Amino acid sequence: MANDPLRVIPIMMLSSAIASVLTFISQIQVPAPHGGFLVIPLVNKPFLWVGCIFTGALVGAILLGLVHIHQNRQLATEVHK
């Protein structure tokens, strides 16, 4: 992230928002004032909550991979010019 914050930060924001929206739509309640997997015993639908988190992470990983592929292709075309 430190090497390319202008591309990575918005992707991480989007993937976090996707996980949050999925959590909200699923009516998952996390009564702890902080997050993380340490609060799984307090979550009303723990498996679904973890699934929402993994879905958001998967979207972020796919988008980061696509950005990386695009950057490599641009570099390759610039080198050949």
**Hey, where are the domains in the chain?**
5-80
Cβ neighbour number for residue 66 with a 10 Å cutoff: 11
| pLDDT score, position 1 | 64
Give the residue carrying structure tokens 């090497």: 3
pLDDT of 29-76, one tens digit each? 988 888 788 899 999 999 999 999 999 999 999 999 999 999 889 888
In sequence order, the 6+-apart residues with CB closer than 8 A to the CB of 46 are 40
| pLDDT score, position 2 | 72
Residue 81: pLDDT band with limits 50, 70, 90:
low
Closest CA to 53 of 65, 66, 40, 63: 40
pLDDT of 15-34, one tens digit each? 999 999 999 999 999 888 88
Report how far residue 28's alpha carbon sits from residue 17's, in angstroms, rounded to the nearest whole number.
Answer: 15
